[in-house]
Structure 1
Amino acid sequence: MISHTRIGTVGLGLMGSSIATCILAAGHEVTSLIKDMSTAGEARERIRGFLTQLRGEGLLTDAPETILDRLTITDDVTRLAGIEVVIESIIEHVDEKKSVYQRLETVLSPTAIIGSNTSAIPVTILQQGLTHPERVLGIHWAEPAHITRFMEIICGNDSDEQYAYKMAAIAESWGKEPSVLRKDIRGFITNRIMYAMLREAFHLVENGYATIEDVDRSLRNDLGYWITFAGPFRFMDLTGIPAYLTVMKDLFPDLSNARETPAMMEKLVAAGAKGVQNAQGFYPYSTESAAHWEEQFIAFSYDIRKLARKYSSDAIEPQS
């Protein structure tokens, strides 16, 4: 059974730990390759905390300690020998990622899937120079990976689609609702659409049409109300297709098509802003309020997961 197979991961930073938590919670044994064993204790405690959250939400029956017994952390790549799926989650750097894949190819079978948790690097670039590029896929997760149902599985030019659909089946057993991109494109689905939205949001603020607060408020109370229930195409079905064509003809020529990054963003980053991570962002934060926003985001993520499952396609579509 899928749930009892051994899964490998590479990297146990914040995102890597969240990914490992998701896989452990689904019932797998997990072997995690890291660069520096001095960070292993910190990573294990982070995963313990994530598992404790899941248990508190009623999403786990086993105790966190029992689940942690299925986790092996190592700096020895040979410990991944025999594993059929390895998920890499290290820094977004092409050479670093390709170096990891070259090491993995020395111990994995030719049919073992190598998945890269990349947000924007074209998978085709990551495949170059590998002995078996056909089994390399992009595996794009959303944060927090152990809570959200999102996943994009991306084929590069050299990918064999059978591996993508095998990965999708495994991901569904993890509680994910994966999408498969059959062709490689920079940014994939959600990032391309989100960054188009961000470009327009900056355009409105920087040109004085609305404040940051107004833009956030409008999107929360419109897009935020329907996007979990229906994607854009389903929403057009629900609300009447012809009107959208009329608006498109009028609005598309007027939308921002800026190619340069927003000056407002450049200035903020130059000043050292990292958001709630260092209590410095688009909004003012104290240390306490930043921590509170992080806590509320996790709580909301659990709540929206429950709501999404209640109104999932499986729950809505009539049974034939």
Structure 2
Amino acid sequence: METIAVFGAGTIGSCEATLITGHGMPCLVLGHSESGLARCRKAIEQNWNDLISNGTAAKQNKDAAMRLLTMSTNPADLSDCTFVFEAVVEDVESKRAVYECIEDHTGRDTIIASCTSSMDAETLAGLVRHPEQLLIAHPFQPVHMLPLVEVVCHTRTASSTVQRVCGLLELLHREVVVLRKSVPGFLVNRLAQALFRESIHLLEQGVTTAEDIDRAVKYAVGMRYASIGLLEYYDAVGFELEAAIAKNIYPSLCDSKEIQQTTLNGLSSGKTGQTAGQGLYDWSQKDEDEFRLRKQSPFLQTVQFWTMPG
């Protein structure tokens, strides 16, 4: 059994800790400040409260899980850890400092699994003394509920490291995809950026509204590919029809290589999305608690497979 730590006390770190302790496994969260750890603990408790309010967990599960949680600002507490999820800011020098700290305080066989969503695995491998023990294990928000994890290798990743990472993720009831080499955006973010780019293009062309684009995704795209998968659907339609559709649509698809004007306008005006109160939507007109719970609702059924403590 791995002895697990999460290095980073932000949103991803708090959700990773919720997932780990929710499976009855002890977890150390290492943060930079006591105030950051206090926010992390509050976020973990909120995760559990949401599960309890949905009838997915009970108070005794939460209480038992919280007893499995250790929070610290002292790197020496990593000494017994054999597996560290790194969940710090997307910055090379910050990650270099964290990896040096981990390697200074753990054993030779400790695995570092970065939760990065954007950095190249080869770049991260160049920041550690033992690159064969490092890879990317990229989760998706909400991390403790959405089951997919992208495991991304680099040229020096040891096969034993991949096996150990996949083994732990499977114990945590994650669905794992393995990328044999690192590409920008991995799998999911590449697909998402193509959809985002086309959606913003349609808005800028005055074709439709943000509400109707979201309605189309929720009630066709999302539902269709949730059950049979994108490429199963491609095969089911058949190459002949897909080729005819592509011939009609490809010439008009957005192929911009630059950040689109809608996003640039939002950045310059400060209307940058939910946290700013305004983006493509007016968030002052939305209930943030309702949105948080709605964001979790498709994944509630995955929690039934947890081996909860208590």
With normalisation by structure 1, the TM-score equals 0.87
What CA distance in whole angstroms lies between the structure 2 residues aligned with 1:270 and 1:233?
39
The aligned runs of 1:135-174 (5 Å cut-off) are 135-174=133-172
Structure 1 residue matching 2:264: 3-state secondary structure: helix
* CA shift in 2, pair 1:308/1:75, >3 Å: closer
Inter-partner Cα distance in structure 2 for 1:228 and 1:106: 43
- Please say if 1:22 is aligned against 2:19: yes
Aligned pair partner of 1:296 in 291, 295, 300: 291
Is the CA contact 1:228–1:308 (under 8 Å) kept in the aligned structure 2? no
How many angstroms apart in 1 are the aligned matches of 2:18 and 2:302? 22
Q: How does 1:168-187 map to 2 (within 5 A)?
A: 168-187=166-185
Structure 1 range deviating more: 184-193 or 31-40: 31-40
Alpha carbons of structure 1 residues 157 and 298: separation in structure 2 relative to 1, 3 Å: farther
Structure 1 59/48 Cα, relative in aligned 2: closer, same or farther at 3 Å?
A: same
Instruction: Please tell me whether the aligned partners of residues 168 and 178 of structure 1 are also in contact (alpha carbons under 8 angstroms).
Output: yes
Question: Partners in 1 of 2:204 and 2:303 — Cα distance?
Answer: 34
CA distance in 2, matches of 1:300, 1:76: 34
1:81 aligns to 2:76 (yes or no):
no
Q: Do the aligned partners of residues 198 and 309 (structure 1) sit closer, same or farther apart at CA in structure 2, a change above 3 Å counting?
A: farther
Matched, 1:10 2:17: no
Which residue identity is paired with 2:142? Answer: P
Residues in 1 aligned to 2:27 and 2:14: alpha-carbon distance in whole angstroms: 11
- Alpha carbons of 1:298 and 1:201: their partners in 2 closer, same or farther (altered >3 Å)? same
**1:61-96 Cα shifts (integer Å, max 9, x gaps):** 643222111111111112111211100111111110
Residue of structure 2 equivalent to 1:199: 197
Taking the aligned partners of 1:176 and 1:307, their CA distance within structure 2 comes to: 9
Given that residues 82 and 106 in structure 2 are in contact (C-alpha distance below 8 angstroms), is that contact kept between their aligned partners in structure 1?
A: yes
- Report whether the alignment pairs 1:214 with 2:212: yes
Deviation at residue 293 of structure 1 after TM alignment: 4.5
What is the number of equivalent residue pairs in this alignment? 304
Residue 65 (structure 2) aligns with: 67
Query: Which structure 1 residue ranges, 5 or more long, are not aligned?
Result: 311-320
Contact 1:147–1:302 (Cα < 8 Å) also in 2:
no
Secondary structure of 1:137 counterpart: strand
SS in 2 for 1:111: coil
What is the distance in 1 between the residues matched to 2:7 and 2:150? 18
Aligned to 2:308: none
More moved, 27-36 vs 59-68: 59-68
* Percentage of identical aligned residues: 26
Instruction: Confirm whether residue 131 of structure 1 aligns to residue 126 of structure 2.
Output: no
Which among 105, 113, 128 is matched to residue 107 of structure 1? 105
The answer (yes or no) to whether the contact 1:25–1:60 under 8 Å persists in 2 is no
Change (3 A) 1:108 1:307: closer
Which residue matches 2:52?
55
Q: Write the letter of the residue equivalent to 1:270.
A: S
Distance 1:22 1:274, change over 3 A: farther
Aligned to 1:306: 301
Contact 2:21 2:65 (C-alpha < 8 Å) held by counterparts: yes
Q: Which segments of 5 or more consecutive residues in structure 2 lack a partner in the other structure?
A: 306-310
TM-superposed CA distance for 1:106, in Å, is 1.0
Contact 2:56 2:300 in 1 (8 A): no
Amino acid in structure 1 at the alignment position of 2:223:
Y
Q: How does 1:229-308 map to 2 (within 5 A)?
A: 229-286=227-284, 289-290=285-286, 292-306=287-301
Aligned CA-pair RMSD: 2.3
The 1:242/1:191 distance shift into structure 2, 3 A limit, reads same
Q: Deviations over 1:191-220 (max 9, x none)?
A: 011101111111122122333233222222
Kept in 1, the 8 Å contact 2:99–2:127? The answer is: no
Whether contact under 8 Å (2:138, 2:149) holds in the other structure is yes
Whether the 8 Å contact between 1:154 and 1:164 is mirrored in structure 2 is: no
Find the aligned partners of 2:170 and 2:219 in 1 and give their Cα distance: 30
Give the alignment partner of residue 39 of structure 1, picking from 36, 41, 44: 36
TM-fit CA distance, 1:128? 0.5
Cα distance change, pair 294–38 in 1 and its aligned pair in 2 (3 A) = closer
CA distance, structure 2, for counterparts of residue 167 and residue 307 of structure 1: 20
Q: CA deviation at 1:186?
A: 1.1
**Residues 1:47 and 1:305: Cα distance change in structure 2 (over 3 Å):** closer
Cα separation, partners in 2 of 1:273 and 1:82, compared to 1, 3 Å: same
